[in-house]
Structure 1
């Protein structure tokens, strides 16, 4: 049974974390996502706690309906406030399963105070879990074949 925790991919998750304040202009949040493989920005309040997220899809949807100055929108006005997140101590297979059930590609990682510490990408999580399964499979194969045992 795979027992990898979210914290096992902490470095990658931290590298995917983009944070904006609730008063950030939406266009500035959009610029952060340009030319990245990151699909969302985490919106934080003045206390540093996650207040919501904005995805690339949210930005495209809003910009597609903008007329003139209507794109002068703040992050707080378009962010998703009810955010599904995970903690570093959650099991990676459980988080990946939840992401699959809800159709998420990215999910924020928050600490016990709801401060964002990273963003998990489903592909990163799958890569880690597959590598562990392959390693366990090779150990089992070696054991059955008697390789390395005398």
Structure 2
């Protein structure tokens, strides 16, 4: 790279989308229950959805915890909970990973990968759930952003210019 016109800082990098780029799909994956919901209701909700996590919310809508399918299976398998009388707050985990709309998607996906997570909760400034970020949805969005950048570069090189 001895050519002064090809300085590394002058090269274009792939745009890094924010989590807001997948807000619609994240919103479609959001399942919530009140803190006093019974596990049978949580299980019914999960069985009719294409996601494996339910968000437990307070009466005012703030996130209190989550319940995953795995947590329900453990409760059932170990005989720890009566699904018809045990409330969501008795088995939910309060150890929640979350992100905001402004967070960069690559950063969120990196955190998810490092911590072995499939889902991360998308919350607003008041800790109210906006959606659930799924690893697969995030990777798809990054791939689409990369493909768009590749098309722009190809058009530029072919003399068409940026479109």
* TM-score for the superposition, normalised by structure 2: 0.85
Name the CA distance, whole Å, in 1 between partners of 2:70 and 2:107: 25
The residue correspondences of 1:24-103 to structure 2 (distance < 5 A) are 24-66=37-79, 70-71=82-83, 72-103=85-116
Do residues 120 (structure 1) and 130 (structure 2) align? no
Counterpart-to-counterpart distance in 2, 1:30 and 1:89: 32
**TM-score normalised by the chain length of structure 1:** 0.92
Number of aligned positions between the proteins: 147
Q: Cα distance, 1:35 vs. partner?
A: 3.6
Q: CA deviation at 1:3?
A: 2.4
2:3 aligned partner = none
- Give distance in 1, aligned partners of 2:19 and 2:98: 11
Q: Distance in 2 between matches of 1:35 and 1:82?
A: 25
Shift of 1:134: 0.9
1:140 Cα shift? 1.1
CA displacement at 1:36 relative to structure 2? 2.2
- In the alignment, the residues of structure 1 paired with residue 48 and residue 66 of structure 2 have an alpha-carbon distance, to the nearest angstrom, of 19
Indicate if the aligned counterparts of 1:16 and 1:38 stay in contact, CA closer than 8 A: yes
- RMSD, matched Cα: 1.5
Task: Name which one, 1 or 2, has greater alpha-carbon Rg.
Answer: 2
Name the CA distance, whole Å, in 1 between partners of 2:82 and 2:92: 16
Whole-angstrom distance in 2 between the partners of 1:70 and 1:31:
15
Q: Aligned to 1:80, what secondary structure does the other structure show?
A: coil
Q: CA deviation at 1:66?
A: 2.1
Listed one character per residue, the Cα deviations across residues 102-142 of structure 1 (whole Å, up to 9, x for unaligned) are 11111110000000011111111111110110110121122
Q: Distance in 1 between matches of 2:49 and 2:82?
A: 25
